[in-house]
Structure 1
Amino acid sequence: MSFVVPAAPIPSIPVKGAAAGDAFPVHRIYCVGRNYVEHAIEMGHSGREAPFFFMKPADAVLPVAEGEVGRMHYPSLTHSLHHEVELVVAIGKGGRDIAAADALDHVWGYAVGLDMTRRDLQNDMKKQGRPWCIGKGFDESAPIGAVVPKALCGLGAGTKIVLEVNGVVRQASEIDKLIWSVPEIIEHLSAAWTLASGDLIFTGTPEGVAAVVVGDTLHARIDGVGSLEVNVVAR
């Protein structure tokens, strides 16, 4: 087969401990909304509502290799760029209608990610009852660190998830405070879409989301997974 225009490259992210040149190919990016109780409250909601999802383009990823510092360009059209630190699940085996009890068999690994959000644009779209892709799915809106094979991860009860901006803690919680757990997320998600190898799932952010500006340094970490550092730079 030949293409009438040049084919876009497959987005990918680094893999911890992989051989040089090996990477994790990105198929789709799914995100879970309001999946920590305190964040749901700060966004004006409460309770264990049914999970809902939105998506980012695969090429929204901003891959940052282990030990490196990423550069995220402050996006256009916004005056309120917010950080949201998240545990990211990397799917290694696809499927549909996956039971929660089997869900972890489909997980290849985990990573630390940031769901960057043009909050003012998102809020404007919400008020108008319109889709808010413009607030979530822009270029470089998904900075992500190296994927760590699940066998090398140390996730468990009390696992810390933290985001610092310029050395000051903005977000701090534990993974077991997810309203919907990783297996439950995969069960719900695979009932709506057929998951495929290369899919990424951003699992939700804790409370403390706030704005960043050009010159800020974001340092995210999840115990047992790794860390991610990103500088916000001018376009």
Structure 2
Amino acid sequence: MSSDAKRQAELLFQQRSVAEIREIEARTGKDIELKQHQLRQLVGNSYRDLIGSADTIVSISNNCETILTNVVNIQEEFAGLARGFSTADNLLNERRDSFTRHEELYAVGGRIKYLVDTPEVIWGFLDVRQFMDASRRFLRAHIVHQLLHTSCGRDTLARFPLLAHQWPVVEKFKGQIEGLVHTSLSTEASLSSLQAADCLIALSALGELDSQAALHAFLAARRSWINAQLAQAQALLQQQQQQQREG
């Protein structure tokens, strides 16, 4: 017992009766038991949450093979989409000689409108956290932009100055989508298998990741979330212990 505590105890015996001291002792004991109970509940709930999250991660990991298979399928679909655009562009080139000037401008205008509409469409997908659809729209816009520059002459594109200003706006969405996906994977506690698949497909499509790289990105993000939760639980535990010592 420290000297301060001893002096306080002596002062207590001098100023209080035995009955009052016993009442103080009983009240202090109850306060200690209550704080111990609250501390056990806090720690127990924190670790139950962590265990529940671990079970969720195990469940998601069990579905990773299916998810990664879907990622591969989506990548193949994107490749098929690119081939489809390329085929359509080849047909356009073959028929260009028979196109009237008006028809050519109409075709170019339609593609530019697709780019103009893309930011609003992507924002709509991001608002409802549909990252796969957002990445799909971005990649399609990227292909359209490439086709405009490979299949149209400079004189034709010069009639659409909006194109030079619009594409930089669309191009920024790649980083925004990737950032939101990483944030979702590393901060959301209750991440379902469908949400995880949506995030992985978006990352794989935008970053051209293979299945192994996609799985590594997913596990790294979820590990970051677990570490953050453990650090938070440890900080709360230390705070409660400090309050108990001071009380």
TM-score for the superposition, normalised by structure 2: 0.21
**Which one has the bigger strand percentage?**
1
TM-score for the superposition, normalised by structure 1: 0.22
